Structure formats: C-alpha cells, structure tokens
Amino acid sequence: MAAKREHSKILLIYTGGTIGMVKDYHTGALKAFDFAKVVEGIPELGQLDCAIDSVSFRSPIDSSNMNPRHWVTIAGLVEKHYSDYDGFVVLHGSDTMSYTSSALSYMLENLEKPVIFTGSQLPIGDLRTDAKENLITSIQIAALKEEGLPVVREVGLYFENKLYRANRTTKINAEH
C-alpha cells in the first residue's frame, strides 16, 4: 500500500500591487482581485498538490507607500499563522518588493519554512500577464518538500523566472 502524501498548506498574503488587480470591464478601472476565491479565479492552481488559503490587507498598499509599519504587519501575519501552514507567499508591488522582502529576511529569524515574495508587471486579470506564472511558481516553491521538509527555509523573492535570496535583491529598472 502506498503511503499517503500530505498536501502542503500555503497562505497567500496579499499586500497590494499590480499582481492583485483586475479590470472592471464596465468602467475600465482597476480593482483588487478577491484572493479568497483564488482557486476559482485561477483554476490552474487546482492542479497543485497543496491547499491554499489567503489573507489580504484591508486596503491594498501601493508599493511606493509600503513602510516599516507594513513590514511589521506582514511579519506578524507569518508569525501568527506559522504553525498552521507549510509555506507563505507574499504578493507585493514590484517597486519596493526588494526592500520589504529584505527587511522580512532579517525580521523573521530561524525560519524553517519558505516565505516567498512575488509581484508582477501586469495585472492578474489581464489576458497575457506575468502575474499567473509568478503566482503559480511561487506557490510551487513554497509547497516544495523533500523527505517531508521544506526545500526553501528562508525569505525568497521570485520574479521573471528566477528565485532569489530576498536580502540579495535590488530593483534595477522601473520598467521591469
């Protein structure tokens, strides 16, 4: 009899940024995506071997307004839910994601689980967008285990098909 594999439990933390936006086709305005319905909105996530829950900031933060108070909120959410989840994915605006993820890498000591930051250049609701690939791959990285243990045990940043150590990243180009 084959051993039953345990699904990873991932918590998405939506702070704001382009990755979480969808267009209202009646008004043309962008509005926040409802991450409580993320698997319904992005059915590809149902193919992953994990359970996904989400929590969103009450008001999405433009990354140019992200500050240390928000960093403390993100760290607090990871700490509060640390024992309930196998990994965390933080959705963040790309302009200051390097600063926030680097700060969190120092705030969250002795991590044994992944905390993966990601964002996008285009809204998740666009037809052709980097948001879905970044989200899906970040969740896969956060859920990845080897011999029952998380493969990544630190704060990382996944963007443009690469995973980086969060405290080794910088924003180079405002066009990307």
User: Which are the catalytic amino acids?
Assistant: 18
By three-state DSSP, how is residue 58 classified?
coil
Among 115, 118, 107, which Cα is nearest to 155's?
115
Pairwise CA distance, residues 1 & 4, whole Å: 9
Q: Which run of H or E residues covers position 12?
A: strand 8-14
Among 80, 62, 135, 75, which Cα is nearest to 102's?
75
By three-state DSSP, how is residue 136 classified?
helix
What is the spatial order of strands in the sheet that 162-165 belongs to?
50-56, 8-14, 87-91, 115-118, 155-159, 162-165
By three-state DSSP, how is residue 68 classified?
helix
